[in-house]
Amino acid sequence: MNKPIIEARGVSFTYEGAKAPAVKDVSLSVAQGEFLAILGRNGSGKSTFAKMLNALQLPGEGTLVVNGIEPKTEDDCYEVRKSCGMVFQNPDNQIVTTIVEEDCAFGLENLGTPPQEIRRRVDDALRSVGMSDFAQASPAMLSGGQKQRIAVAGVLAMRPRIIVFDESTAMLDPIGRRDVFSLARKLNLEEDITIVWITHFMEEAALADRLVVMDGGRIALEGAPRDVFAQTEKVLALGLDVPEMMKLADALSHAGVQLPKGLMTVNEMAVELCRQAHRDRPATTRIDAEPSEKTETTEESAKDCVIEVSHLSHVYMPGTPFEARALNDVSLNIEAGQFIGIIGHTGSGKSTLISHLNGLEPSEPGAVRVDGIDLGAKGTDLIAVRRAVGLVFQYPEYQLFEETVRKDVAFGPTNLGLDKDEIDRRVEWALRQVGLDPDEVAEKSPFELSGGQKRRVAIAGVLAMKPATLILDEPAAGLDPAGRRDMLDLIRGIHDAGTTVVMVSHSMDDVGRCCDKLYVLSKGEIAYSGTPAEVFTHDRRLHEIGLDVPECAKLARRLREAGFDMPEGVYRTEDVCAAIARNLNAGGDAAC
């Protein structure tokens, strides 16, 4: 193994005023050129440890040496930051200028790099991340994935030996996630840059050289991904998850199909299943076939619709050099009691669409009706509409502003003019609906809460208005697997209690588990609509427009093309498991 480039020995750190340390007695050695993934629940200490690697925080106890430097003085910190770059979760928090190439040069200018060298390094960095054509663009006009590439380029231009990615793909669409991860892998393999990859996505962690799991500020598990994920019960108890193929392998073992330990990827699973069905050769499959041409989306007939969208278009900053068409002739209907999923690549128009559904954006040209009321008509009571249609934004914690949780949740009901007793009843009811104990949290500042709790409070503030329809924009983004499960269970419970739910998400697994119907947006238009099973049959086209399908849907396609009798549209683990078991228990008649 290469010489260590990071050495932590007994490192601890406690935030001022905190009762317990955020990082406790961490000892870890990272080799030059290693790709290390770090997992852990929200609040487990991952980001605090990452900041110490970049000398944004200094250890309170223990020693930390980064690229041969133990940061103790300001000059030491300066040298550490030159050798260890950091890419944060939200690229908007890292981009500081109005022109891409100027943003990429920002760090170099602060390092006092000569102008000619800055020019050379900026060009090289933008070329490395595939953004040379956007050198003169405004970062504000780029997609989330493109912004993240710019953030990486700004770090890369400083020629670091280490890059720390702190949840850098959490807010991206599936293809954006894959692109940023592939870029990090390329830098690791081709330029020998050490990568520390902090993530909540198990499929990303499975591709690392080594995996560290943190819990309560300590290292709970460590080893090769295959070995760590093999400890399924421990991983789940730590609030995490295992790759989908490992879940499928467990389900298959209960169905009588015995598989080797540690299968983590779709390819590994497909090859092994084909070996069992036809032992003389491995699977050879095609993934370029599309089951049918693009579905023509026709305007739907209204049937007990709570929201009707008809031929809606929207252009941002019309008549300026930054004019951008976000929606183009969109029509859809949402029926009472449905659970609707809206999916699409970053910049496809999802957030713009839902902002029209309660009148935050004017519905011209086109029309939006809520309970038959035209939102664009003169004299429409938009306040009444917003009581009926509640909206929770992508970063719901940004909706919090009051001194206490109680005041924040009470803000909407108070503005409805309700009496104090009714307001108090609604606050308590709404907090209990989102799984929070009013006695424990009502008098706390919302900014003292964890990220998951903040989201629950933001949702409670909308629920307290008693809306008939609840719209959520990426409600589970950035949450750890346990937090994501809890959030989805919460939303399903709200839906089961009678609320119509519209959820925007980048997670195909989430919409597949929760939604009755999906609308797929691409470049401001509806590309597909239908049940999840219907939409997921168009996996190739979804990939082309920046999306993906659940891992089990990918496996089903691979096996179907290898000769297995797999139904079209299966994507749930239990359904794919049952189909595989039928094939293998039928005497191995599936040809590879």
pLDDT digits (tens, 9 = 90+) for 329-367: 999 999 999 999 999 987 789 989 999 998 888 877 889
Q: Which residue has the higher pLDDT, 218 or 540?
A: 218
Helices (H) and strands (E) in the chain, counts: 23, 19
Domains 4-232 and 305-536 share a fold: yes
> What percent of the chain has a predicted confidence (pLDDT) above 90?
60
Q: Are 305 and 517 in contact (CB under 8 A)?
A: no
Q: What is the pLDDT of residue 589?
A: 41
Tell me, what's the pLDDT at 395? Answer: 74
| Mean pLDDT estimate for the chain | 88
Q: Is 562 helix (H, G, I), strand (E, B) or coil?
A: coil
Please write the tens of the pLDDT for every residue from 171-191: 778 887 888 898 899 989 998
- Higher-confidence residue of 175 and 420: namely 420
Distance CA 432, CA 443 (A): 15
Q: Specify the pLDDT at position 360.
A: 86
- Residue 403: alpha-carbon gap to chain centroid: 29
Backbone angles phi, psi at 293, to 5 degrees: -70, 170
Of 52, 65, 68, give the one whose Cα is nearest residue 8. 65
* Whether residue 13 has pLDDT greater than 90: yes
Tell me the C-alpha distance between 192 and 169, whole Å. Answer: 21
Strands 4-13 and 23-31: antiparallel
Strands (E), 159-234: 162-166, 194-198, 210-215, 218-223
- Reading the block at residue 511, the tokens are 């919409």
- pLDDT tens digits for range 33-60: 999 999 999 889 999 999 999 999 999 9
Q: Are 255 and 573 in contact (CB under 8 A)?
A: no
Q: Write out the two tokens for 449.
A: 């809460």
The fold of the 4-232 domain, in CATH, is: Rossmann fold (3.40.50)
Q: Which residue has the higher pLDDT, 299 or 486?
A: 486
CA distance 370 to 223: 54
Instruction: Provide the pLDDT for residue 282.
Output: 40
pLDDT computed for residue 303 by the predictor: 57
In sequence order, what are the residues at sequence separation of 6 or more whose Cβ sits closer than 8 angstroms to the Cβ of residue 48? Answer: 13, 15, 22, 23, 57, 217
User: Mean per-residue pLDDT for 371-389?
Assistant: 87
- In this prediction, residue 502 carries a pLDDT of 97
What does the pLDDT read at residue 277?
85
More confident of the two residues 140 and 331: 331
pLDDT tier at 283 (50, 70, 90 boundaries)?
very low
d(CA 34, CA 49): 17
**Which of 13-17, 61-65, 160-164, 177-181 has the weakest average pLDDT?**
177-181
- Residues 521-548: what's their mean pLDDT? 92
Where does the pLDDT of residue 586 fall: very low under 50, low under 70, confident under 90, or very high at 90 and above? low
Structure-block tokens of residue 498? 């009678």
In the chain, where the domains are located? 4-232, 244-289+551-585, 305-536
CATH class, range 305-536: alpha beta
